[in-house]
A and B are shown apart, each in its own frame.
Chain A
Amino acid sequence: MRTETDLHDAYTTLADHAPDGTRLVIPTGRAPATRRPRRTRSLVIVAAAVGIAVPLIVVAVTRQTDESVAPAASRWAPMFGLDLPEGWHVDSRYLEPLRQRAVVYGADGQVCDVVVYHAGVFDPDRIPADRGKVTINGRQGFIVAMSDLVPDRTPGVVFPRQLVWRYDAGRWASSACSSRAGADRDKLLADELTTARAVTRHPEPLRFPLRISGLPSGWTVSSASRVFGPRMAPNPPEVALELRPSSSASTSPVPAAPRPLSRPVVTVYFWPRAWPVQQPRSTPLTINGHSAWLWHEPPGATPQGMATAGILFMVNDTTIGVDASGWLVDVDATLRQIASALQFASDPADQSTWFDSVDALP
């Protein structure tokens, strides 16, 4: 039979195992802001590199579904850091309205995707009750098989299991590693555990070479990304900011849709070297005091992009003129408005002049 002294001793033991509280956020300053209205979500595009500076805006055609977003007041503030083992490195970071991601390369060439979802985005009811449990940094995690958590869907790439865990109150995180066929399943799971346990609550700022202010009505930033590691491409962009119009974007009605409708995506790429603008096919412009060109391919067609001298470049696709609701986007005017909304760092080649994500993104 136990005694009350045993109970008291047990409580002392339990209290001695209490977290130190350093991971908590202590409110300071003015009262916390209330939630903003829900906004639109989108997909990710990206690429990157190093060196001198040149942003590029690309317009791609992508089917998009309207999904609700629950952004916090600091939606663009990085939510997590990574303290990776030796030999591992962060390839890229992505900020999105619903989640934040990092792509991590392991010492053996494995690729892992770490995601922290904003509160309420990840539905834990998806986790089957009989899933294996693990502990991730003191939090309960589960071994699952959810293909949508996998970063690389290339044929021949295997991703048998993934990890999800409770990151903090209301927020969940996932870790998914992939490798070519033949990979040891247990090794992949071990890599996922390594990656998950490297996630910290001490994020470093994510900086961008330009600040966006005054986008065309209804357009929002749907993804902002930085690439840090070397890529296969010889001259990949270092930064990509993806913009999409919501249904309230300023567009014009189209009586009869000429083709299956989709919404435009404009991506601002920031290249380390000047983009080779094809001068003969370009229309010279001046944007925010910078020389710029509208680029037509073929000549005379809807502009495919826009570039400034060593600074800005936009590419477009002639099929983007119609969005999902049957409204025509004025490509020329839209590209000019977006270009006008970009404020560049004083010296884009000097990262110390770049803007923190919270300042850079609207």
Chain B
Amino acid sequence: MISLRSSAVLLRMRRVRTPYEDDISDEVLLAGMAIGDDRAALAFMRRYQHRLFGLAMGIVGDLALAEDVAQEAFIRIFRHASVFDARRGSVATWTLTITRNLAIDALRLRGDTPTDPDDQVFLGLLSANRKPEDAAVAEDSLDRIRVALRSLPIQQRRAVLLAAMYGRTAQEIAVAEDIPLGTAKSRIRLGMDKLRESVVIEEDQ
């Protein structure tokens, strides 16, 4: 848990560049936060606020609610920094998963229908910098998966994104899409299998 002395401390540090900001790994920043280091918390917030807010906005599609989600995510992250376990995954995955889960909870609390994953913000996610035929020149794993995602049949892509981004179970997807449960499960599996192949290709190269 982080112990912030006062909001004034953070405000004073807004213009302070710390050695944490550029050269320290996410994991060390978390460690600093866990022992109550305000500057580590500030650096972490600056490093991740665009990503967390972007993900929250993508899921809830509402500016005010997205800010609320992103801020609550930071509070959870700061509070639980000491229990982060790197063996279970990266800091980025951990923080984004927290944000995603909070966004899903926020939507459910509000009784909203989740944003269509092929619309609005996620259109940007899919309008990758590269076209599918350029997959061979993709530079990193995220590029590869983005290209693979864009190449999926739309029904499979919707099923995968509804599960990955909105936490929808196969049963919920079946209801939402008005399709049999078996079809929903197959779409998820086929989509994930094709995305997995992009990971395999990268690792084998």
Q: Do A and B bind each other?
A: no
Using a CB–CB cutoff of 8 Å, the interface residues on chain A facing chain B are none
